[in-house]
Amino acid sequence: MGIVRVGAVFGALISYNLRPASDNNLIVIDRKFEWTDKYRKEDMLLKIDFPIPLLKKVLIVSGEAHSGKTMNF
């Protein structure tokens, strides 16, 4: 699972090298941010309920920690 666009790219690269390509599923979740009165409010663009069988083995790659741009307060 990739979080934001950079997480999607890194997640795809890592998962491809960990498992055969025919066995990989990639899900990307993006977030939206609103700044009000110097505080950041964040929410998911799309909320997904994942089926339990898909949650047995999950690699989560978060891209915003790479740049740090969404961590500015």
d(CA 66, CA 5): 11
Residue spans of the domains in the chain: they are 2-71
Terminal C-alpha separation, the chain: 26
Q: What is the pTM of this model?
A: 0.46
On whether the CB atoms of residues 62 and 1 are closer than 8 A, the answer is no
Which tokens in the block code for residue 37?
A: 């009165």
- pLDDT, one tens digit per residue, over 15-50 is 777 776 666 677 777 777 788 887 777 777 777 787
Instruction: Using a pLDDT cut of 70, give the percent of the chain over it.
Output: 66
